[in-house]
Amino acid sequence: MTALKAAPQDAAVSIQQLTKRFDGGSPVLDRLNLAIAPGEFVALLGHSGSGKSTLLRTLAGLDPVTEGIVTRPQRVSVVFQESRLLPWKKVWKNIVLGQEDAGTRQRAEVVLEEVGLSHRTNAWPATLSGGEAQRAALARALVREPAFLMLDEPFAALDALTRLKMQQLVADLWKKHGCAVFLVTHDVDEALLLADRAVVLEQGQIRVDLPIPLSRPRKHSDGDLEALRTTLLNALGVHGA
């Protein structure tokens, strides 16, 4: 059976025996199994070419499911590495793109306030800084009240200080909205700071599935993170870091 199914509202994400190959070559994803509980924050780590992006694109519905079964909630949102705002629409119009009922402006203002961007409601996207643009992209994802939020290396292109602020913002927003989150990243610290569970993808399969049972809010300097960091780095093939 092969399908991308829309699960009933607020159901968990479930991936069973997902296999993907391009042009009949060796599989990028190889009989991959993964489940995400409602409201759970899962971080996906892996080297470039490990299939991270392919997995996310499949979950987002951008690539078709050819082998295996994927179930996910109806309401999903994606934040990409680039903000992907339409440069010809004001920020608030970008936020409610595709929504045509009354009250869009008000909804946009509420969610922009949430991400700390209410002062740029009427700005053109080209005038935003990198951090502001990603805030807007987050707002656009949240305004749809997703049951499942996918983040594809959303802070990779930001400078270190902005990244820290954005990680804090995501932690706060997740606590407030309570949606399931799937964060694709190559930053071990980011995964440890935010996620309930870190999974490491290698050669198309989940190699390590590591719960992070630490209380929140977490800090990069927490001593408890050290052991987990070593485990994850070892799993990624980085020893002695």
Distances (CA, A) of 133 to 73, 218, 229: 26, 25, 30
Nearest-approach distance from CB 211 to other proteins, in angstroms: 29
Phi-psi region of 61 (alpha: psi -120 to 50; beta: other; left: phi over 0): left
One residue of 55, 65, 70, 78 binding other proteins per CB under 8 A: 78
One residue of 23, 25, 26, 98 binding other proteins per CB under 8 A: 98
- Pick the closer one to other proteins by CB: 36 or 232: 36
Exposed, middle or buried, 234 (CB in 10 Å: 0-12/13-18/19+)?
middle
Q: Which of 148, 220, 157 lies closest to 190 in space, CA to CA?
A: 220
If binding means CB under 8 A, how many residues of this protein chain bind other proteins? 21
58 near other proteins, judged by CB under 8 A:
no
60 near other proteins, judged by CB under 8 A:
yes
One residue of 35, 88, 105, 211 binding other proteins per CB under 8 A: 88
Three-class secondary structure of residue 147 per DSSP: coil
140 near other proteins, judged by CB under 8 A:
yes
Residue with tokens 């800090």: 219
Pairwise CA distance, residues 88 & 22, whole Å: 35
76 near other proteins, judged by CB under 8 A:
yes
CB 184 within 8 A of CB 58: no
Q: Which of 174, 133, 175, 176 lies closest to 154 in space, CA to CA?
A: 133
One residue of 21, 47, 89, 186 binding other proteins per CB under 8 A: 89
One residue of 77, 134, 167, 185 binding other proteins per CB under 8 A: 77
| Span from 7-15, 125-133, 154-162, 174-182 in contact with other proteins (CB under 8 A) | 125-133
One residue of 62, 106, 176, 238 binding other proteins per CB under 8 A: 62
| Span from 25-33, 123-131, 173-181, 216-224 in contact with other proteins (CB under 8 A) | 123-131
Exposed, middle or buried, 188 (CB in 10 Å: 0-12/13-18/19+)?
buried
Nearest-approach distance from CB 13 to other proteins, in angstroms: 15
- Pick the closer one to other proteins by CB: 152 or 196: 152
| Span from 44-52, 72-80, 110-118, 166-174 in contact with other proteins (CB under 8 A) | 72-80
Paired with 5 in beta bridges are 71
Pairwise CA distance, residues 163 & 23, whole Å: 37
Residues forming the site for other proteins (CB under 8 A):
60-62, 76-78, 80, 82, 84, 86-89, 97-98, 124-127, 140, 144
